Amino acid sequence: MKYLGIEFTRPRVGVFDFTGCQGCQLQLSNKEETLVPFLQAIEIVNFREVTSDSSNDYDIALIDGAITRDDEVERIRAIRARAKVLVALGSCASFGGVNRMKNALDLDEANRVVYGDLPKATGRTRSVGEVVKVDLVIPGCPVSKAEVERVVQHLIWDVPYHFPAYPVCLECKQRYTTCMFDRGGMCLGPITRAGCNAPCPAAGLGCWGCRGPAADPNNEEFLSLVRSRGFSEAEIRERLDFFGGFEGVV
Amino acid sequence: MKMQVNLDVHHLTRIEGHGNIVVKVHNGRLEEARWDVVETPRYFEAILKGKHYTSAGILTARICGICSIAHCLASVRASEAAFGLTPPPVASKLRLLAKHGENLQSHALHLLFLAAPDFLGLPSVLPLLETKPEVVALAAGLKGLGNRICDAVAGRTTHPVSLQVGGVAARPDDATLLAFRTDLERSLADLETVASLVKTFDIPAFERETEFVSLKGEEEYPLIGGSLVSSDGVLRPEHEYLEMSNEYVDPNNTSKWSRLSRDSYAVGPLARVNNNFELLHPEAKRVAAAFNLAPVCHNPFMANVARLVEMVHSTQDSIRLIGEILAGPAEQTMAPVTPRAARGVGAVEAPRGILFHCFDYDAEGRIEKADCVVPSTQNNGNIHRDLPALILQMIQTGTSDDSDLELKASMLVRSYDPCLSCSVH
């Protein structure tokens, strides 16, 4: 890649997957119109889902998925020891994602429901940051490839990337989406970090908080709003617990 | 005769999720050939308990990062079956268009990015960025078209937002649909280029008699709902999926296995083509004929050709569907939903094969019991049984070295395009 004839050093990137749907690493291959320049801007040296080549010499480790089993703890520690920069890619890596809902269950009972009398090894769901030091968190279920591209661009420019501090509400206003609360629906938009372009409220689902809290969210005001709109404590808790990013809000 | 083999492929590459191949041959005797799925389990069926019907599809979409549309649609269909609800006709057409988009992106990803390197003698497509960037651009273009159709119809290609119980949130406007029709028509030439590339692939000659399970089409090549059929002659209605799938737990695998008339069965593009060949678009049948793919084909490696055939079919059928949606009357895309206490089953053909969701609802529309039977779960037992047959054939012909054995065993697993995180939902 050459702009104005200038060469730069491509960062060596490893992509690693843990407990999850692996949809965030898949996003790296999406947004196809810029896929070729994206892949030319970085050097992928370890990405099991895409290549049989594998090197342990990488600058950046992108981590997809949460940590739920002992062997994953060992694996993430080894990756942390090798990587200069470790990035949590997506909601599962960032705060556990939907896997975190498992922590409210009796794991023996969950094993019985799914596997009958041949239970499998599992444990509490932890974010990557609960196990090793994380240098950057890119939230979202899935992550926005456009946002990943912006992070990579800032990396190349040597300029820190700042995630939007404002909540999803702002992006609904920008797209002229009628407020979910005015449509009688539940929405975590007022307290959730923007940057996704608010696709879920636009489809009438409301925001489910997959990107975690916005900067300095006003949780008290949010709770008083949803309670005044008649949502039950169970409904509020179900929504806040869904992606694992709002633990402790209620 | 090959006397000694010791294969230990830990976390096979270029598949979704974590699985291991183990092969041991001692003094010319096959002692062990295993396909073990070690992916971490996620317990979705336990998490789904108590969830409201409005969140079921949002949650089950997260079972899979590649076929989230199929999972969402299976949940939506199961819920609609439970509530006795039929979505508006335009919503059914839009769902099928999203399904075609998903099959296009997933098949392009597998055939051109994950499988093709084996046939080209490469570790991945990444070296092609330097040597043949135009091939990568063509592959990315086909995958991107599928993804853009999903974005427009389902609201987002990964973890869709517009596919909901009752119908579809909105119909894309005419200009968007017309642009897709033009893009699809133009992509047919690219699919011809892909067919020429696949023609150069040396597809291993290996057969093992297999039972194939899929939806059964009546008038259309089936992707969403309908009867269940097997190539051994089993025919069941959708709601009797348990009699078809017969899941059981294997001690060495976090993925369950399935069986029907034999020890295992296969699902996926080859199963669909085998069971519904006559319902393919004539252009898709023409491509199949060019590769001598005719039912019932028992060579699992031919699934790669079946993917190409389905890409042609999905492209042609999407062009037809867009015409019908454009010509159709302006109508509501959502039907009103009234939950009730009942059980519902939804069967959908995901890119990797038939997928079942089953929910027991209470009167408020909350899930009391959930069951998901996933395509790769059904295929894993069959892969495990293909493996010794392939190794035996190779060691008996005596023409193979260890690296060739490892390559062919890996290619066999990849030909199923397994999605292991899906399979251990």
Sequence-distant (≥ 6) Cβ neighbours of residue A201 within 8 angstroms: A168, A172, A177, A179, A180, A187, A189, A207
**Mean confidence (pLDDT) of chain A:** 94
Neighbours of B261 (CB within 10 A): 12
Count Cα neighbours of B394 within 13 Å in the Cβ-side half-sphere: 25
Q: What is the pLDDT of residue B225?
A: 98
Asked whether the predicted pLDDT for residue A174 surpasses 80, the reply is yes
Query: Using CA atoms, how far apart are residues A51 and A16, in angstroms rounded to an integer?
Result: 12
Pairing label, strands B163-164, B5-9: unpaired
Cα→Cα distances B361→B52, B78, B83, B242, B365, Å: 9, 10, 9, 18, 5
pLDDT digits (tens, 9 = 90+) for B150-181: 999 999 999 999 999 999 999 999 999 999 99
Which residue in B has a C-alpha nearest to residue A125's C-alpha? Answer: B42
Asked whether the predicted pLDDT for residue A153 surpasses 90, the reply is no
Asked whether the predicted pLDDT for residue A58 surpasses 90, the reply is yes
Given a contact cutoff of 8 angstroms between Cβ atoms, the answer to whether A131 and A125 are in contact is no
What is the model's pTM?
Answer: 0.97
State percent of chain B over pLDDT 90.
Answer: 94
Tally A–B CB contacts below 8 A.
162
> Which of B62, B157, B246 has the highest number of chain A CBs within 10 A, making it the mutation to test binding with A?
B62
Q: What is the pLDDT of residue A126?
A: 98
Asked whether the predicted pLDDT for residue A8 surpasses 80, the reply is no
Q: Is B311 on the interface with A (CB under 8 A)?
A: no
Cα→Cα distances A36→A80, B65, B203, Å: 28, 21, 28
- What does the DSSP assignment read for A59-80? SEEEEESBB-SHHHHHHHHHHH
Q: Is B45 on the interface with A (CB under 8 A)?
A: yes
Q: How close does chain B come to A120, measured CA to CA in Å?
A: 7
Given a contact cutoff of 8 angstroms between Cβ atoms, the answer to whether B357 and B346 are in contact is yes
Sequence-distant (≥ 6) Cβ neighbours of residue B344 within 8 angstroms: B77, B78, B79, B80, B81, B82, B83, B358, B359, B361
Asked whether the predicted pLDDT for residue A1 surpasses 60, the reply is no
Asked whether the predicted pLDDT for residue B17 surpasses 70, the reply is yes
Q: How close does chain A come to B66, measured CA to CA in Å?
A: 6
Q: What is the pLDDT of residue A120?
A: 96
Which residue in A has a C-alpha nearest to residue B62's C-alpha? Answer: A21
Q: What is the pLDDT of residue B397?
A: 85
Q: Which residues pair with B6 in a beta bridge?
A: B24
pLDDT band per the 50, 70, 90 thresholds, residue A40: confident
pLDDT band per the 50, 70, 90 thresholds, residue A62: very high
Which residue in A has a C-alpha nearest to residue B407's C-alpha? Answer: A52
B residues 269..308 contacting A (CB < 8 A): none
pLDDT digits (tens, 9 = 90+) for B339-378: 999 999 999 999 999 999 999 999 999 999 999 999 999 9
Query: Using CA atoms, how far apart are residues B192 and B240, in angstroms rounded to an integer?
Result: 40
Q: How close does chain B come to A158, measured CA to CA in Å?
A: 25
Contacts of B137 in chain A (CB under 8 A): 36
**Mean confidence (pLDDT) of chain B:** 96
Which residue in B has a C-alpha nearest to residue A185's C-alpha? Answer: B54
Query: Using CA atoms, how far apart are residues A128 and A66, in angstroms rounded to an integer?
Result: 6
Asked whether the predicted pLDDT for residue A3 surpasses 70, the reply is no
State percent of chain A over pLDDT 70.
Answer: 98
Q: What is the pLDDT of residue B363?
A: 98
Given a contact cutoff of 8 angstroms between Cβ atoms, the answer to whether B333 and B170 are in contact is yes
What ipTM was reported for this prediction? 0.95
pLDDT band per the 50, 70, 90 thresholds, residue A2: low
Q: What is the pLDDT of residue B116?
A: 96
Q: What is the mean pLDDT of residues A120-124?
A: 96
Q: What is the mean pLDDT of residues A117-121?
A: 95
Q: Give the DSSP H or E segment for B163.
A: strand B163-164
